[in-house]
Chains A and B, each alone.
Chain A
Amino acid sequence: MKRSRIPLYTTWAVLIFFYLPIGVLILHSFNASRFSSSWEGFSWRWYIRLFAERDIWFALQNTVIVALSSTIVSMVLGSIAAYALHRYHTRLQRVHYTLIYTPLVVPDILMGISLLLFFVGIGMQLGLITIFLAHTSFCVSYVAMVVLARLQDFDDSILEAARDLGATWWTTTWRVLLPLLAPGIAAGGLLAFTLSIDDFVITFFVTGPGATTLPIQIYSMIKHGSPPLINALSTLLLVVTFLIVWLVQHLTQEEHRHEVD
């Protein structure tokens, strides 16, 4: 029987659908023309201009500060929450699970509005702190869910074995539980980091003067009409993203190969 070619065509169609816009964007970041309607030859000018834009560097700095801090805090809180959800099955934990789960399904715009109302209500100065708090509030849920998934495959008798061999609760946590959960916590952290970096809607609501993050900066640049710069910036972001993904895959494969050996 002749093998159907439909899967092949579908694959190509999906790939084109996904990557054609990105390809066009990369192409135009090297376009000497100010407008993407015509091609006027290869040029690095937008990249050079980009490095001169102080606003962008400031926004990037803000974004990284917020992303790093909210990632670290949500990794700690999320892992603890996941462990509590895994370890105890009381009615309180069912409420806890719902509370952790809700931010994943609540629309961003609702999160944004409610956080804004909350911060205004308690008279908090809008700025980096509020963005950090807002990001942490949804990143905790993502970290908790990833770590919880990891805990589901976790053999609790390993912890019992450690206790049985004379380890205190504290030693067991440090020398057995945390090393074993580390990949899950790291994966959750990576997810939180990416979510925080490109969050627009929630950040837009809770940002204040002088606390512009990269997505907001890009949005305002589009409004004030400098698309070629954005093309260049997006291409750089793309490169960084691919590097991170490649690194993560490389690391996990290394671990996998080790196991098969």
Chain B
Amino acid sequence: MTPFLHFNQVRKTYGDIHAVDQVDLSIRKGEFFSLLGPSGCGKTTLLRMVAGFERPDVGRILLEGVDITDLPPNRRKVNTIFQNYALFPHLSVWENIAFGLRVAKRPAAEIKSAVDAMIDLIQLNAHARKKPSQISGGQKQRVAIARALINQPDVLLLDEPLAALDLKLRQRMLLELDQIHDQVGITFVYVTHDQGEAMSLSDRIAVMNHGRIEQLGAPAEIYETPNSSFVAAFIGDSNFFDGVVTELIEPDYCRLRIDGFPDVMCYNDKRKQRGDLVHLSVRPEKFRLSLDPPPNEARANCVRGRVAEVVYLGAQTKFLVHVQEYRLAITQQHSRFLLDQKPIRWEDEVWIWWHADDGYMLDRYSQTDEELLEMPAG
């Protein structure tokens, strides 16, 4: 199958900064595809190249096999939903939606029926005559979607469309976007810095950093097996350990030496060899935490620590536990009635263990990525 939307060795520089650096990417037809990364990672530049607002310095962009790199924005069957909606303030809601058909010089009767149908779809009949300044943020969002969809684009580009909305509304629009994608069945390319949005909506995600794609895959794939410390820290939280491979355990496991830990085993899908320096990463919710020692079969990957912080959140509790020089972030889900158990408190000595399959070794590691963990989740 030929790719639907294809970036071929695309590069764009502003001065000394590589906004987009050698990106090769294929997006499938009908897919909900997300470009995820921190601000300045190049995701928006990539999107604007598809829309036609930026030209790559090097490389081509193909849509259904046709080179669109040099086409002006108005000649691409691609429409964009802008971060701030970019509705026309001097036109009514109705005229905003009709704009695409008007400039295409469609017959008036066709415009009327198409726009009316679209307004029905987004349930804004009561507001059709109002100006954008007179409707709420969520309504503006829907107008922006309707306006972009009325041209029946091959690809719909969404540039952080929910960033301007408050949390409640964001969650509702998230569901609506998902429904719209299912209804219209066209390809969505979604740019966001919010991993939650990307994870919940996307078929596939490309995690970007410094103009490159760090990892490409389905949400679960990216979450469970990040291949770099950046991805591990950016998507969800992670704990990082430095270690050395000491022994290969056939067929798929290896034994690691990590200072302060008695015996660590890890699933070795990356085919590390003896003596390789590795970075082991474990997600907070993969740890088990208990005041009592673990059952015998879990003797590997077991260590003692001291609880430094407890944050009870109802459905779960977050712990910060000191183990040697490490500070482990650990999350425990409360699937059983909590008050029957002896609670783990501050300063308690605890046992921590995890399954060898639940840790993963990173291809690339950078100390600064660990600092992403210190940032508040956005």
Distance A164 CA – B73 CA, assembled complex (angstroms): 5
Residues in A with CB closer than 8 Å to B104 are 166
Chain A at the B interface: SS class: helix
Stretch at the interface among A96-104, A138-146, A153-161, A194-202: A153-161
Q: How many pairs of A and B residues are in contact by the CB < 8 Å rule?
A: 69
Distance A157 CA – B282 CA, assembled complex (angstroms): 42
Instruction: Say yes or no: B82 contacts A166, CB within 8 Å.
Output: no
With contact pairs A164-B80, A167-B103 given, residues A259 and B73 touching in the complex (Cβ less than 8 Å):
no
| B47-86 at interface with A (beta carbon < 8 Å) | 51-53, 72-74, 78-80, 82-84, 86
Distance A163 CA – B151 CA, assembled complex (angstroms): 13
Instruction: Say yes or no: B88 contacts A158, CB within 8 Å.
Output: yes
Instruction: Say yes or no: A155 contacts B84, CB within 8 Å.
Output: yes
Instruction: Say yes or no: B90 contacts A180, CB within 8 Å.
Output: yes
- Is B134 at the interface (CB under 8 A from chain A)? yes
| A156-179 at interface with B (beta carbon < 8 Å) | 157-158, 160-168, 171, 175-176, 179
Instruction: Say yes or no: B51 contacts A171, CB within 8 Å.
Output: no
Distance A259 CA – B134 CA, assembled complex (angstroms): 7
Residues in B with CB closer than 8 Å to A175 are 103
Residues in A with CB closer than 8 Å to B51 are 160, 164
Instruction: Say yes or no: A162 contacts B99, CB within 8 Å.
Output: yes
- Is A261 at the interface (CB under 8 A from chain B)? yes
User: How many B residues are at the interface, by size bracket?
Assistant: 20 to 34
Instruction: Say yes or no: A162 contacts B88, CB within 8 Å.
Output: yes
* Distance in Å: Cβ of B145 to nearest Cβ of chain A: 13
Instruction: Say yes or no: A160 contacts B73, CB within 8 Å.
Output: yes
- Cβ-neighbour of A166 out of B89, B90, B100 (below 8 A): B100
Closest B residue to A178 using CB positions: B90
| B213-229 at interface with A (beta carbon < 8 Å) | none
With contact pairs A155-B86, A179-B90, A180-B89 given, residues A164 and B74 touching in the complex (Cβ less than 8 Å):
yes
With contact pairs A158-B88, A164-B51 given, residues A259 and B74 touching in the complex (Cβ less than 8 Å):
no
Distance A124 CA – B97 CA, assembled complex (angstroms): 55
* Distance in Å: Cβ of B196 to nearest Cβ of chain A: 25
- Is B133 at the interface (CB under 8 A from chain A)? yes
Instruction: Say yes or no: A167 contacts B74, CB within 8 Å.
Output: yes
Residues in A with CB closer than 8 Å to B80 are 160-161, 164
- Is B255 at the interface (CB under 8 A from chain A)? no
* Distance in Å: Cβ of B95 to nearest Cβ of chain A: 10
Instruction: Say yes or no: A176 contacts B88, CB within 8 Å.
Output: yes
- Is B131 at the interface (CB under 8 A from chain A)? yes
Sampled A-B contacts (9; CB under 8 Å):
A157-B84, A160-B80, A160-B82, A161-B82, A161-B87, A164-B78, A165-B103, A167-B99, A180-B88
Chain B positions within 8 Å of A, measured between CB atoms, are: 51-53, 72-74, 78-80, 82-84, 86-90, 99-100, 103-104, 131, 133-134, 147-148, 151
